[in-house]
Amino acid sequence: MGNLILVRHAITAASASGRNLGRRTDPPLIAEGLELAQRLGETIARELEELPHGSLRLLSSPALRCRQTADAIAPAIGLAVEAIEVHEGLIEIDYGAWDGLTAEECRERDPELRAAWEDDPYATRCPGGESGGDVARRAFGVLEPLEAWLAAERSRCAVVVAHNHVNRLRLCALFGWPMREYRERVSQDPGGYSLVGFGAGAPVIRRVNAAPA
């Protein structure tokens, strides 16, 4: 059984303030986030000590906040920064006109659309942006082949650094829950990580949103 460690990037100013941060803006990690990323790398290294990992890959969204998080993880797990595989499909949701707004500001701006989105974010698109389903189609195009690669060999491991919506969507799908409920069912804190095993049978979910030590 190969293993996937699915990570949300560390803290940015937007994630610290509760504002939407999608694919339209690309801020760096704040100082607290850089420190968290270092601790995350050390924690993942300890996880890997307990897992067979003859083959190890590190993938990242192209967003700066993810690449900075991956840059901190790479040396901790014995990989060069140049070995990080950057995939456009792992980028965060496009919030459209809601980018940079709080949830309350979105409700004030577009009350009916926001209510529909909160009821079913998988099917409902943000104004001028994406739905959860749009994100899933492109992100799963990266994650599903990776999971098949992991399932083929017990000594394979991969670390993926992505985003809030990307990770919640994938975990919801792996749990077999209704996709419209992905925002209600799964939480992803900055720097949180999940550990999932892939083999011949159903995925084995060992950790969800674990915090770095």
Which strands form 85-86's sheet, in the order they lie side by side?
Answer: 85-86, 55-60, 156-162, 2-8, 193-198, 204-210
CB 123 within 8 A of CB 180: yes
Distance CA(196)–CA(167), nearest Å, equals 12
Q: What is the DSSP letter of 207?
A: E
9, 53, 87, 163: the active-site residue: 9
d(CA 106, CA 21): 13
Q: Could you tell me where the DSSP H helices lie in the chain?
A: 13-17, 31-49, 64-76, 103-109, 111-119, 132-151, 164-175, 182-185
Q: How far apart are CA 71 and CA 82, in angstroms?
A: 9
181 catalytic per annotation? no
What does the longest C-alpha to C-alpha distance in the chain come to?
Answer: 52
* CA–CA gap between residue 152 and residue 166 (Å, rounded): 24
Question: What residue type is assigned to position 204 of the chain?
Answer: V
Catalytic hit among 53, 87, 92, 163: 92
Residue 9 annotated in active site? yes
Residues involved in catalysis = 9, 92
